[in-house]
Structure 1
Amino acid sequence: MDNYLVSLDKLKKKCDCEVFESKTTEDLSTSRELIGQDRAMEALKYGLSISRKGYNIYVSGFTGTGRNSYSHLVTKKFADKKDAPKDWCYVYNFKKPSSPKAISLKTGQGKLFKKDVDTVIKKLVLEIPKALDSKEYENSRNLTYTVYQKKAKNILAELNDLANEYNFVFRQTENGILSIPLKDGKPITDEELNNMSKEEIEALTNTSNELNHKAYDYVRRIKKVENDFNTEMKKLKESKVIEVLDQYVTPLIEKYDENQKIREYLNDMKDDIVKNYEGFLGKDNERQVQGFPFMINSEEDTMKRYEINLFMDNSYKKKAPVVKEMNPTYYNLFGKIDYINQFGGYKTDHTQIKPGSLHEANGGYIILQVKDILQSGKTWESLKRALITEQLKVENITGLNIISETLSPEPIPLDIKVILIGDFKIYQLLYNYDDDFKKLFKIRTDFDIEMDRNLENIRKIGSFVAYQCKEQNLKPFDNTGLATIIEYSSRLAAHQDKLTARFNDLVEIIYEADQWANIRDKSIVTKDEVNIAIEKRDFRNNIHEEKMTEAIESGIIIIDTKGEKIGEINGLSVVNIGQYMFGRPNKITVNTFAGKEGIINIEREVKQSGSIHDKGVLILGGYLGEKYAKDFPLTLTASITFEQSYGGIDGDSASSTELYALLSSLSGKPIKQSIAVTGSVNQKGFIQPIGGVNEKIEGYYKICKLKGLTGEKGIIIPHQNIQNLMLKDEVIEAVRNNKFRIYAVRTIDEGIEILTRIKAGKLNNNNQYEKGTINYLVQEKLRNYAELSKSYK
């Protein structure tokens, strides 16, 4: 049996302290370089280098592999090679006020343009009233007034000549031209009018009607003169306003002549000011709403439309932006239109258009967490639409639009590279069920969870630790501490020739080891502090394991570690509680008897078994039939169960264990209870590797230690799992002192010999198994069951 023992040198791959080029990290070169992710880095850099539509990037991998920090770091390097993006402004649309215009400017010009326009408007507020109050304007106004007044008086004189024939006179009042009857050459008084008889009043009315009829043409001529005067006065005012605009706005148009949209906007603004110059005169208009008087400043309303909304000011950016949006809600990404509550109603304007992080990143890169963005279907769909159309449109999708005015701003061209961070499962779901995703995210970069344990990577981890010590002001690590970290890294990777790429786990141990050095008042972190940090980390999280151990010690959970029993065996499973994994022994029992039910998986019958475990049990029937029942029908009933198991069971790592117990029950030979087993099996009887081998071994070792290490206790593992062994020193020391044994097997035959101390047996020339062997006894029992089944038909 000793041939199957795993040698001491294979229980853990030590790290030689001398591989590091210095005694402590103080003398090591520091590096933040991503280690062991060459494939991921190549894919990421390739995706970032392609400036084509649809070549956005999906970064997959587990948390802690550096996918977030290094995606940002590499993206930043690419961004530093690109120029800063343009500035963007939203301005009032004089032709369609509900659709503000978007204007792009060279980087840094946005705030200059806004300042220029603000300065001009402030000057116009002062200069337009001055121009309309100047002596020159007054002279022109008086001259025009005199000319048209003279025209009106001449027509009125002609009208009064006609009125004299009817003993009337026409006077011009605030209410227009009125006809007044005369008496003795003077306008009749109210008293005289009241003293008239009915007949006199009737006669006077008829005369007035006749006169008014004849006077209509004269009155029309006077009104035309008035209208001509008003028109001429308006032209005079507008000409004065234009003179002011030519002085202040025209130079601004010339300054931004190269920008067509600015030129168009300033010309439209100029025309609008000419039409609405009254707003620059500073007069307040009183209006009535729901019976309550209030004042609205017409100047403020007018001035608002000339205000520039500096939507994106990139003057502070030297290179292309890289934005990490940690809360990618719709409005955080796409911006929004704010509203102002005014007298119970909501109003808005172009100055209330606010940018989102996509606008901040436009011209550069944005990094998003896929889980966060998928929580809102509207956000995900809107992001895809923006990438497809290559346009960014600000619009509110919920809220105030129903009860208030709304805007439809002009979209902004979108030039951006999106980097989504997520896991592989979400990638597969999106790739299989979202056609747009395939077209938009053509590059996938996958961060691995492990890397090769070679000299280069070992030294790089040393430089990584040195970088952490420098950046985080930690105590230096000596080479024994670094070697222990390398061994712990292989332990996390569960492979002697691999190192973990989940650097978050390493960083936590580095920080905690530094703290233990502080507690122990040491100036350098050694392997002792690293080991304490690992042990204390386990201790903080192993309460569930301790409770289970207590239950085994008290006999509540029945686990036998001595003696021999037929159809009973100790299997091993792994319990994962997040930051901590531990191995748990399970007693597996098998009963066999005559019948035709086959192998009954009790866990499956009570729906506590997963599909993978069910598959493992079904494989046992294939193994029995192929190995023992080629010349007779396989007829038996066997019940298999995990004793004292009250939760779900899945996985096939106990399939070989179940098969050993089944063979014991059929052969009638007992199994040594001191040896636990893990490993899956195929239908041909070959043992297959499993996960969590270190935790399983150490979990069973703790139980054996609790019940007394006699030298007979041990565990059987698949031969392939030797390369995964990174056991704790305590277990290795027990093996060294012959107090604990670890066997590695390739086949069921090898394992059953260890468990029963009886030969498995091989087929002889007569195609029969050797008498007295396990296989012979099993075959004979199955043959007996087959004969029994015939007799009971």
Structure 2
Amino acid sequence: MARPGPLSAENLCRRCMPDWPDFETTDDLVDLPGGLGQARAEQALRFGLAIGQPGYHLFVLGEAGTGRHAVALRLLREFAERREVPPDLCYLNDFDNPHRPRLLKLPAGRGAALHAQMQTFIADLGPAIEAALEADTHRDRVDSLLQAHKSREEKALRELGEACSADGVSLLQTPEGFVFAPTANGEAMSPDAFEALPPAERAAIEGKVSAWSEKLADLLDDFPGWRTALRESVKRAARDALAPAVTHLIRPMRETYAELPEVLRFLDAVAQDVLENAAEQESLEDEDEAGEDGGQRFHRYQVKLLVDHSSTHGAPIVYEDNPVFGNLIGRVEFIAQMGVLITHFNLIRAGALHRACGGYLVVDADRLLTQPFAWEGLKRALRAREVRIEPPAEAQGWTNVQMLEPEPVPCDVKVILIGDRELFYLLTENDPDFPDLFKVAADFDDDMLRTDTLTLQYVRLLATLARASNLLPVNREGLARMVEEGARLAEDAGRLSLQTRHLADLLREADYHARQSGVPVVGAPQIDGAIAARARRFGRYSERVLESMLDGTTLISTDGTRCGQVNGLVIVEIAGEQFGHPVRITATARLGEGDVVDIERETELGGAIHSKGVLILSAFLAARYARHQPLSLAASLVFEQSYGPVEGDSASLAELCCLLSALAQVPIRQCFAVTGSVNQFGEVQAIGRVNEKIEGFFQLCRARGLTGEQGVLIPAASVKQLMLREEVVEAARAGRFHVFPVANVDEAITLLTGMEAGIPDAKGILPRESVNHRVAEALAVMTSAKHAADQSGGRKPRHRRREED
């Protein structure tokens, strides 16, 4: 088997050659009008926004930073411009049922006008009432009614007094009320005189007093009715006095809204209520009590403007960044008065669904799902196609307190949720309502193909991002470095990342370096400086890891050979930044029952995917070396000095080579590091973050001194992912560092040990001086030893039984 050679420097990074025509900097490029590389997502968005059937709400899924919000909002504005402005939404007091305010829809802008006119009406109503009720004609009429009432009462009492006086009984008025007393010679008789009368005469007088007392009681029973009639007369007089004033105040509004029957009915109800209640000012009750609720009485006539579209053009687009239940559905607020919480229809507050009625509502799905009751409230509104304002406790049936019950608002709204793919799949799997309500998925790609034509479009995208942040122009070389960084972010030299957030951040940071240096244009040095500065800001942990390797705290060898020991490569992610570093992997082999012990899994530090990788290499061993005999070994694999979770299968190639070395007792060259996963047939499979892994080992080798022997083995399938930093490429070009692609475990073990892996001949016989032969031989020895041990162990019980006999 021919040993694979190292990759050339040109294969380690696909450079972008800035030979674009007709421009020198981003100032010469026009903005990209739409998104780039998101044709599938845009098509889905257009479909979802255009279809008007129920349940066709949208979920925009993809990784953060891929322009999901920007593209969605751009298309929303495009669709919204072609739609009509929805009506204003108002709430009115229901005078017959105050705890159930009525909904009023008005053409856009007219809700604000009605609200303002009613505020003016209320401001003018108090003075108008005061003027009408203080007018001389009205006061004279009221005084006349009061005087007539007074005269009537006085006349009735006088006539009763005269009648009883003729019967020998006087009607007297005392502080305690009316009393009757016998008379003698026209004067009230004293108690002593009355007691001196004969019993028969006293009894006759007492009978008269009792009879007249009953007549007085009957008369006094009539007085409340007379007073009620008086109040009604006063109220009628007040209504007569106020009618012209109220008509005068309301007439302009009736003319303005003559074509809106709902408004006319409301104005009629207001006029009737004003006339019915204005007589309270003329009430015979305590004036202070009447004055206390006068202000509240006028609040009844306000128009609660819930949603105002006077400044809206087309359909509304509402982005709710804090989707708590009340912000979505709306709420009713309370105020404290005299230690008691009260509310009324003017304290109703609109939610995002109200503001988005007739348009579009955009919500971040992860924020929505972390708010109590918000997700269920949104689903309930979408199913019913109406928004019902109610507290969460009432919506869940947890309270029976009487609350305001505003009339529900019919709501034709298109909801756009934005989230990642994992959240979309979780909702689809676990919430049966979700697929019925959100039938359209707009899936944003993370990257795009890197062709010459698309690269030029990508450059225009970079120019658009730079101009959007008012950055310095970027020249050709700077744009070429940005294209290369886009390919590195995509982890594929043949693709370009669509993580516009990261690209925009890098352009902003490069702009900062350019301004600090006093240069008028951002070029490659500024882009490289921004990349290096970012690595430095997030590099504290990686520097500490490197220092621990250099001072011997963490044991990593980069020279010499060792059986059962290899340098693997791992990735650490901190705050969104990834870096790679080597880790020592060791293996031991001994006589056993065919078990390969993954110490990481046994200590519960290994994840499921890592454990799967170890099981696969166990299957490989059995399939290749123990097809006709049992696998009689016990092996252990471990990541040395690893004290945290280990996940992924990208170290399975290194683990397999390490185990083969331990079995064959063939040492592995420590100047190499290995990354890659293997399948049951020994084929090496692609892995992720290959650039960071190579660079992590390179930094250690460079710090200790490059010898020209050091290098990294990677899957051949990962070569297309290579976009290594310039320092690694230059070292490879100078022959001081190498990157080897391997397609299978035989190629890898050959490079690592310097010994041929060994391919069986036509008879299935392996070359003696090969790794595979030594492994097979070692396993055969173990099998023989195991068989002998079993045979020996099998005779002992028989021997003991004979001894017992």
TM-score, with structure 1 as normaliser: 0.90
Aligned twin of 1:533: 530
Once the two structures are TM-superposed, the CA of residue 720 in structure 1 deviates from its matched residue by: 0.4
Q: Per the alignment, do residues 113 and 279 of structure 1 end up closer, same or farther by CA in structure 2, a change over 3 Å counting?
A: farther
Q: Pick from 723, 740, 744: which aligns with 2:741?
A: 744
Q: Is the 8 A contact 2:588 2:637 kept in 1?
A: yes
Partner of 2:323: 328
Shift of 1:224: 7.1
Q: 1:182 to 1:476 in 2, by over 3 A?
A: same
**Is 2:56 aligned against 1:61?**
no
SS at match of 1:739: coil
The superposition leaves residues 234-282 of structure 1 with CA deviations (integer Å, 9 ceiling, x where unpaired) of: 4444344445444444664454344343333333323322321224569
Distance change (3 Å), C-alpha of 1:198 and 1:234: farther
**Alpha carbons of 1:546 and 1:137: their partners in 2 closer, same or farther (altered >3 Å)?**
closer
**1:567-582 alignment runs, 5 A limit:** 567-582=564-579
Cα separation, partners in 2 of 1:280 and 1:54, compared to 1, 3 Å: farther
| Correspondent of 2:760 among 750, 760, 763 | 763
Aligned residue type for 2:579: F
| Alignment map for 1:634-673 (pairs within 5 Å) | 634-673=631-670
3-state secondary structure, aligned to 1:776: helix
User: Structure 1 residue 450: deviation in Å?
Assistant: 1.1
Residue-by-residue CA offset, 1:361-391 (whole Å, 9 max, x unaligned): 2222222122222122312211111111122
Mapping 1:397-436, distance limit 5 Å: 397=392, 406-436=403-433
Deviates more, 1:676-685 or 1:376-385: 376-385
More displaced, 378-387 or 484-493? 378-387
Q: Distance in 1 between matches of 2:244 and 2:184?
A: 54
Distance 1:711 1:145 in 2: 119
Deviation per CA, 1:48-106, whole angstroms, max 9, x where unpaired? 22223222211122221111233223222222222332222222211111112221111
After superposition, what is the alpha-carbon deviation per residue over 1:273-312, rounded to whole angstroms, capped at 9, x for unaligned? 232122456999467xxxxxx9952322322222222222
- What is the deviation of 1:487? 0.3
The question of 1:362 aligning with 2:363 is answered: no
**CA pair 385-707 structure 1, distance change in 2 beyond 3 A:** same
RMSD: 3.3
1:495 aligns with 2:492: yes
SS at the partner of 1:712?
coil
Mark the CA change 1:155 to 1:661 in structure 2 (over 3 Å): closer, same or farther: closer
One of 440, 463, 467 as aligned partner of 1:466: 463
Q: Answer yes or no: is the 8 Å Cα contact 2:335–2:343 preserved in 1.
A: yes
- 1:174/1:393 Cα in 2 relative to 1: closer, same or farther (>3 Å)? farther
Tell whether the 8 Å contact from 2:62 to 2:68 is kept in structure 1 after alignment. yes
Report matched runs for 1:280-429 at 5 Å.
285=286, 297-397=292-392, 406-429=403-426
* Structure 1 residues without counterparts, runs of 5 or longer: 288-293
1:326 & 1:222 partners in 2: Cα distance? 66
Residue 197 (structure 1) shift: 3.7
Question: Contact conserved, 1:345 with 1:404, CA < 8 A, in 2?
Answer: no
CA deviation map 1:601-644 (0-9, x unaligned): 22222222222111111112221222222222221122222222
TM-superposition CA deviations, 1:417-466 (whole Å, max 9, x none): 22212111221221111122222211121222211112343223322333
Deviates more, 1:469-478 or 1:390-399: 390-399
Task: Note if 1:607 corresponds to 2:608.
Answer: no
When structure 1 is superposed on structure 2, of 403-412 and 696-705 the one drifting more is 403-412
The range that moved more, 403-412 or 684-693, is 403-412
Q: Which amino acid aligns with 1:349?
A: H
* SS, match of residue 415 in structure 2: strand
Distance 1:256 1:496, change over 3 A: same
Contact 2:716 2:742 in 1 (8 A): yes
Change (3 A) 1:556 1:131: closer
**Would you say the 8 A contact 1:561–1:673 is kept in 2?**
yes
Q: 1:482 aligns with which of 479, 482, 487?
A: 479
Out of 448, 451, 456, the position equivalent to 2:448 is 451
CA contact (8 A) 1:57 1:420 kept: yes
**What secondary structure is seen at the aligned counterpart in 2 of 1:770?**
coil
Distance 2:220 2:105 in 1: 57
Per-residue deviation, 1:598: 2.4
CA contact (8 A) 1:322 1:364 kept: yes
AA aligned opposite 1:442: K
- SS of 2:19's equivalent in the other structure is helix
Task: Give the structure 2 partner of residue 291 of structure 1.
Answer: none
**8 A contact 2:281–2:290 mirrored in 1:** no
Match of 1:727 among 724, 727, 730: 724
- Rounded to whole Å, the distance in 2 between the matches of 1:20 and 1:743 is 37
Partner residue, 2:117: 116
State the distance in 2 between where 1:573 and 1:339 align: 58
Q: Provide closer, same or farther for how the CA distance between residues 246 and 168 of structure 1 changes in structure 2, counting only shifts above 3 A.
A: farther
Q: Which moved more, 1:748-757 or 1:405-414?
A: 405-414
Which whole-Å deviations, capped at 9, do the CAs of 1:334-356 have from their partners, x for residues lacking one?
A: 33222222222222222122223
Q: Secondary structure at the match of 1:662?
A: helix
**1:264 and 2:265 correspond:** yes
Matches within 5 A, 1:239-278: 239-249=240-250, 252-253=253-254, 255-278=256-279
Whether the 8 Å contact between 1:120 and 1:248 is mirrored in structure 2 is: yes
Quick one: which amino acid aligns to residue 90 of structure 2?
C
Q: State whether structure 2 residue 595 is matched by structure 1 residue 598.
A: yes
Partners in 1 of 2:575 and 2:120 — Cα distance? Answer: 62
Contact 2:87-2:108 within 8 A present in 1 as well: yes
**1:694 shift after superposition:** 0.7
| CA distance in 2: counterparts of 1:325 and 1:500, whole angstroms | 28
Aligned residues with identical type, % of pairs: 32
- Per the alignment, do residues 27 and 229 of structure 1 end up closer, same or farther by CA in structure 2, a change over 3 Å counting? closer
Q: Taking structure 1 as reference, are residues 55 and 175 closer, same or farther at Cα in structure 2, changes over 3 Å only?
A: farther
Asked if 2 retains the 8 angstrom alpha-carbon contact of 1:160 and 1:169, the reply is yes
Letter in 1 for 2:354: H
Q: How far apart, in 1, do the equivalents of 2:101 and 2:85 lie?
A: 25
Tell me if the contact between 2:3 and 2:751 (Cα under 8 Å) persists in the aligned partners.
no
1:120-269 mapped onto 2 (5 Å cutoff): 120-134=121-135, 137=138, 163=164, 165-167=166-168, 184=185, 188-189=187-188, 195-199=193-197, 203-211=204-212, 231-232=232-233, 234-249=235-250, 252-253=253-254, 255-269=256-270
Q: What residue number does 2:794 align with?
A: none
User: For structure 1, which segment, 138-147 or 21-30, has the greater mean C-alpha deviation from structure 2 after superposition?
Assistant: 138-147
CA drift of 1:152 comes to 8.1
Q: What is the DSSP-based 3-state SS (H/G/I as helix, E as strand, rest coil) of the residue aligned with 1:99?
A: coil
Q: CA deviation at 1:220?
A: 7.8
Q: Given the superposition, is the C-alpha separation of residues 631 and 140 from structure 1 closer, same or farther in structure 2, using an over 3 Å criterion?
A: closer
Look up the match of 1:625.
622
Partner-residue secondary structure (3-state), 1:377: coil
For 2:656 and 2:757, locate their aligned partners in 1 and report how far apart those are by CA, in whole Å. Answer: 13
Does structure 2 retain, via aligned residues, the 8 Å contact 1:285–1:298? no
| Cα distance in 2, alignment partners of residues 304 and 661 from structure 1 | 84
Distance 2:449 2:284 in 1: 80
Q: Per-residue deviation at 1:744?
A: 0.8
